A = this chain, B = another copy of it.
Amino acid sequence: MTTPDQVLDHLSRTTDQIFGRDDFRDRLASGRRLRIKFGVDCTAPDLHLGHAVNLWMMRYLQDLGHVVVFLLGDTTTRIGDPTGRNTTRPVLTEDEIDRNASAFLEQVTLVLRNDPDVLEIRRNSEWYDPMTITDLIGQLSMVTHSELLARDMFQKRLRDHREIAMHELIYPVLQGYDSVALKSDVTIVGSDQLFNETMGRNLQSKHGQVPQTVITSMITPGLDGGSKQSKSLNNYVGLARSADEQFGRLMTLNDELIETWATVYTELPREQVEDLARRAARGGGSARDAKLELAEAIVTRYHGLLAAARSRRTFLDVFSERRLPESIPELSVTDLRPTMLDLVAAARPDLTRSAVRRLIVGGGVRLDGRQHQDPLAQVAVATGAVLQIGRRRWHRLKIEHGE
């Protein structure tokens, strides 16, 4: 049997903080199958490597026989967690929630074992639908105004003289009560959820339960070395993307992040991570090769060894000089669906349109690795897409929104 300390040691690789470590050790030692609360908001998901860190930690616990309780916050989604939001979120319909829930489950089972023995699927409407106003108010009576207002985000709103709607203020109590209803033993979350999950510990104590252990996981900077991965910044690697797309995006990773990403997003042995770090530090071709290895290791996790090896070959074929450009110039684009002709003409103002047309028809132009030979075909472009013209010229597209 895996000992509690072995479990803690395994998880420590991607753990930022643990609240309730001793309880967690006791729980693991008890031999009981633990209940791991995994609460999600039923908004349209697009999970990336950052989210997967928690999923892999949960997957590890599943492999030891513990149960992940995938909790669709259908009631709370209708309210909207104000975390990091300035405005009240639009209300979702039942249908939208159902659709988002299915999409979410599909994505999380890219990592989690989808086996009813270790994956329980619940909705918080199960307890919120039958709950009376008097019950809810009973829960609210256990919490004070100042406890809730202590939340960073609320403090920030107050400093900025922005309003806090009352449903936002009580949101943490609802998310916290989910832990009571599920009898959660442990939950693994990003640090932005720490406040809400601590409220869960608080309420569990008041209900006579041992408070859940809260593990916050490590967060890495996004591909560009800036903020953490996010859709809006387009600096992320989506879990549900093809092996080729994941590989291509990973190869744009900032060299300084190779060690961190290898630690957090792979299970490569520590010596191998250190080796990658050393090679990354040398820069140039050495760093590029380290990055190829890292990309292959990450893509392997989601698509398997064969697909990862194939993506590596494709990538190298596309960038057939077998070296990555040190820096890729940006190309501003205002049209979201330009023709190839217009796109390439914008990148090569030095060429006539006839010359550009010949270049395209001759197969010399690729967009995100894919050849486009019809000069008049419209292509969908996005910020971050790479336009390759000939063998040595690359442009990274940047969408500029028109007035």
Contact = CB atoms under 8 A, between A and B. Distances in A.
A175 to B, nearest CB: 13
A140 B136 CA distance: 13
Interface in A116-132: 128-129, 131-132
B128 A134 contact: yes
A163 interface: yes
Nearest to A137: B167
Contacts of A134: 75, 78-79, 128
Interface size class on chain A is 20 to 34
Interface string A88-132: 100000000000000000000000000000000000000011011
A155 to B, nearest CB: 12
- Classify the secondary structure of A's interface with B: helix
Q: Which 7 A-B pairs have the closest CB atoms?
A: A140-B166, A145-B164, A141-B167, A140-B167, A144-B163, A137-B167, A128-B133
B132 A129 contact: yes
Contacts of A144: 163-166
A170 interface: yes
A140 B79 CA distance: 10
A163 B145 contact: yes
A35 B146 CA distance: 38
A94 to B, nearest CB: 11
A169 interface: yes
A253 interface: no
B146 A165 contact: no
15 contacts: A75-B134, A79-B134, A79-B141, A128-B134, A133-B133, A137-B170, A140-B167, A140-B170, A141-B165, A142-B165, A143-B166, A144-B164, A145-B163, A145-B164, A146-B164
Nearest to A80: B141
Given A128-B134, A131-B133, A133-B128, A88 B141 contact: yes
Contacts of A136: 133, 136
A173 B163 contact: no
